[in-house]
Amino acid sequence: METVLLTGAASGIGRATARQLALGGRRCVLVDRNAEALRSLADALGGAHLTRVADLTDPAQIAALAEGLPPLHALINNAGMTDDSNPPVIGQDPAGWRRLLDLNLRAPARLPLALRERLVPGARIINVASGAGLRAIPWRGAYSPSKAGLIAQTRAMAREFPAWRFTVLCPGFVRTELVAALIQAGRLDPARAVAKIPLGRLGEPQEIACALAFLASAESASLKADLLAVDGGSSVFGGSQAYPPCAHAPMAYDTPLALRVQGPWDGPLQTAAQGYPALLDTQVLASPPGRRLDAIVQAARQAALDGPGSLTLLLPRDPDESWEGAGERAAARMLISTLACEWGPKAARINAVEVPPGADLAASLPLLRFVAGAQAQYLTGQTLGSP
């Protein structure tokens, strides 16, 4: 049985993730400063999960965490706080400012170092950043800087500690206690937030939980130092039109994957006849340099997705990239995002995975199945594969 240490487990995304991990047969070490909520979560989960009460802004409490823990296969740095007190940056209270940075930016680096004797070789370390780390959100103190720092720090730590596999997840707006508090404080208008999200709805905690459980598993092995934005497409949308609220509720997250392939594929596929409709395109892979944008448009046209479902494209990643290649590659990524913004109101998703020439496609299948499937219904407009 694999063991996953999860911080901020007692509420919102953390609580949903603990449930998802337990459902997948993993033992959790549940860490939070809220002892009561932690205990009631552990009672509800049953089983062999461990709990640790700790304030992660305190380096001494982080250092004490390793004591008595079993070997850890994954660490999910999820605990985080926002600032809903409203003063502008230059009016911030220094103690609150420091506390936020300690939790959101420093704790995710202190934890793996404190747990280094417990983390197995190849352990997966997943940091929960935010869309706020990709674009500045004003009047929330150090929140955006802390999350931008966490994204960069994750990539730098991936280079520094190759024995561990790092990824960083950026959720968009998710219906949790944190977001409920912002709405209640008048700091977030849900209708205005939704108008900027191509999929036209806030995310559900379980959608982030599914992504975290996937990243914490061996199945995500092809992702290294990658950033996954699970945000309904909000981080790739730069237009000014308002999106309508989504007319389609998400399908059950355990809906089986009904996957069809556009183009050549000679591996096993394991697909259901009925379920969440998904297409995997392998045709762009064979397109020559200079013709890839045309090939993507052709694949999108052929997919003809007119309702909830997904198109996932495999894109070629040339090992020796010329300057023309660099331009075409970035244009291809942005084309995927543009299509996602156009398709969002239909709940039709499009994402891509870059693969080097001659890659064993079967090895990418677990990732492709996740991206294409019902568990990733809030994921759109993304091209995976580190830039």
Task: Point out the residues that are catalytic.
Answer: 143
Q: Is 322 exposed, middle or buried (0-12, 13-18, 19+ CB in 10 A)?
A: exposed
Q: Which is nearer to ligand NAI, 100 or 348 (CB)?
A: 100
Q: Which is nearer to ligand NAI, 56 or 352 (CB)?
A: 56
* Residue carrying structure tokens 């561990």: 164
Number of residues that bind ligand NAI (CB under 6 A): 27
As measured in angstroms, the least distance from the Cβ of 32 to ligand NAI is 5
Residue from the set 80, 141, 309, 344 that interacts with ligand NAI by CB under 6 A: 80
Residue from the set 19, 26, 27, 33 that interacts with ligand NAI by CB under 6 A: 33
Comparing CA positions, the residue from 186, 181, 214 lying closest to residue 374 is 214
Find the angle CA(198)-CA(383)-CA(21) to the nearest 5 degrees: 85
103 binds ligand NAI per the rule CB under 6 A: yes
Residue from the set 126, 157, 174, 350 that interacts with ligand NAI by CB under 6 A: 174
Instruction: Read off the amino acid at residue 354.
Output: E
Cα–Cα distances (Å) from 172 to 85, 217, 353, in that order, read 21, 22, 21
21 binds ligand NAI per the rule CB under 6 A: no
Instruction: Return the residues of window 119-138 that contact ligand NAI according to CB under 6 A.
Output: 128, 130
Q: Tell me the residue number closest to ligand NAI, measured at CB.
A: 80
As measured in angstroms, the least distance from the Cβ of 35 to ligand NAI is 10
Comparing CA positions, the residue from 81, 59, 12, 14 lying closest to residue 4 is 14
> Phi first, then psi: what are they for 381, rounded to 5°?
80, 10
As measured in angstroms, the least distance from the Cβ of 55 to ligand NAI is 5
As measured in angstroms, the least distance from the Cβ of 218 to ligand NAI is 24
- Interface residues with ligand NAI (CB under 6 A)? 8, 10-14, 32-34, 54-57, 78-81, 103, 128, 130, 171, 173-174, 176-179
